[in-house]
Structure 1
Amino acid sequence: MTVTARLFAITVDCPDPAQLARFYQAFLGGELRSASRDFVVLTSDDAVRLDFQRVANHQPPPWPDSSAPRRLHLDFCVENLAQAEQHLLDLGATLAPHQPGGRRFRVLIDPAGHPFCIATAAAAEVPGRTLDSSTP
């Protein structure tokens, strides 16, 4: 049987969904919707929405602690890396102390402690090689 699916949302665990949703709305635009104080949705014209869900025991993931379990992080393509970085810092993000991307991308930390990246178009390009079932 073939199952067809599409990604419609990415849910971000956090201590304050409304606050974190407003941070990302200020960066990305879109509209906020909520049915409760524990869950906020950021919608936009993009196919994938961002959901923010209250988690009482939320612990920000350590960056770049390699002994900590890795988690999902968000990557955003921006036209001007320096302008986007400054805008995000003004909104309350912090620049991560470890920057592995050089001039191609920046790692920032959102107000709830999640690392995320902003990247140039060149850094956001899909790698050229197609993987198949025999590719390791």
Structure 2
Amino acid sequence: MTSTTQVSPVSPAIGSLRAVALDAPDIERLATFYQQLAGWYRVPGDDGDWISLTTDDGWRIGLQQAPGHEPPQWPDPDRPQQAHLDLRVPDIDAAAARAQELGATLLRRNERWHTLADPAGHPFDLALNPDDPRITLAGVMLDCPDAKGLSRFYARLLGKAVTFEADGIAMIGEDGSQPVMFQQIEPYTAPGWPDPAHPQQIHLDVMVEDVDIAEKAALEAGATSLGASGPDWRVYADPAGKPFCLVWEN
């Protein structure tokens, strides 16, 4: 999904994408996995419940300690993945073999992409990109009941245009510039955060300048407050029920 034809106009951003965060019972193990597989870099200074990784192409991936984490069982709709990462690799067979050496599990294989689960159970795709010797992060894909509707919400939240739409799939942002993608799933089961029986699995952190102004705009766009907050974060649900955080600098 690489089309960059603008489908919708760009709205003023409520915030900017700070991080894609994955829940895991052992974040040290998961950090080591992605460092060794994809060459991501660990950001110093995080506390014991959170590890930040950065990529050569500008993404920040957060790993959040989640004791008692229940992993997805893709493609079981009762244990949904909720979202997944798409990695581009020069050789999918070699990358899949390396991922399995590091603790991943192969879930599906075809000529253009392979699906694996990382050591925390999160599915991710390896897509063939033979013209680039690097492993790069193409984007994050959110499962949802309405791809077009959810893409419009995140376009408003992140100030990115809808650049691709097709039956049951959409993308905001430009290919190569941290796009967020959406795929329609039936039946769709929303997270029930903080219920551990219905885990969020993955969430987005959105950086804002004034959280009160940003909260008002996010709620008007269709978000719901989940009533949880900390010194520099507040938790909301998007229209598909997926938690996300507004975060700011103290």
Q: TM-score range by the shorter chain?
A: 0.7 to 0.9
Indicate how the Cα distance of structure 1 residues 130 and 31 shifts in structure 2: closer, same or farther if over 3 A, else same: closer
> Which of 103, 106, 111 does residue 111 from structure 2 map onto?
103
TM-score (norm 2): 0.45
Contact 2:42 2:51 in 1 (8 A): yes
Partner of residue 197, structure 2: none
Structure number with larger C-alpha Rg:
2
Q: How many residues align?
A: 125
Amino acid at match of 2:113: F
1:95 match: secondary structure: strand
**Shift of residue 9 of structure 1?**
1.4
| Structure showing the higher strand proportion among its residues | 2
1:25 maps to: 35
Change (3 A) 1:13 1:86: same
Tell me, yes or no, if structure 1 residue 59 matches structure 2 residue 67.
Answer: no
Q: Which residue matches 1:3?
A: 13
Output the TM-score relative to the length of structure 1: 0.79
CA apart distance, 1:84 = 0.6
Structure 1 runs (4+) deviating above 4 angstroms are none
Listed as ranges, the gaps of 5+ residues in structure 1 are none
Q: Percent identity?
A: 37
| Partner AA of 1:25 in structure 2 | Q
* CA–CA distance in structure 1, aligned partners of residues 26 and 96 of structure 2: 23
Check 1:65–1:74 CA distance in 2 against 1; reply closer, same or farther (3 A cut).
Answer: same
Q: Distance in 1 between matches of 2:106 and 2:36?
A: 17
Measure, in 2, the Cα distance between the counterparts of 1:9 and 1:89: 25
Q: Which amino acid aligns with 2:48?
A: R
The answer to whether the 8 A contact 1:17-1:37 is kept is: no
Q: Distance in 1 between matches of 2:164 and 2:57?
A: 25
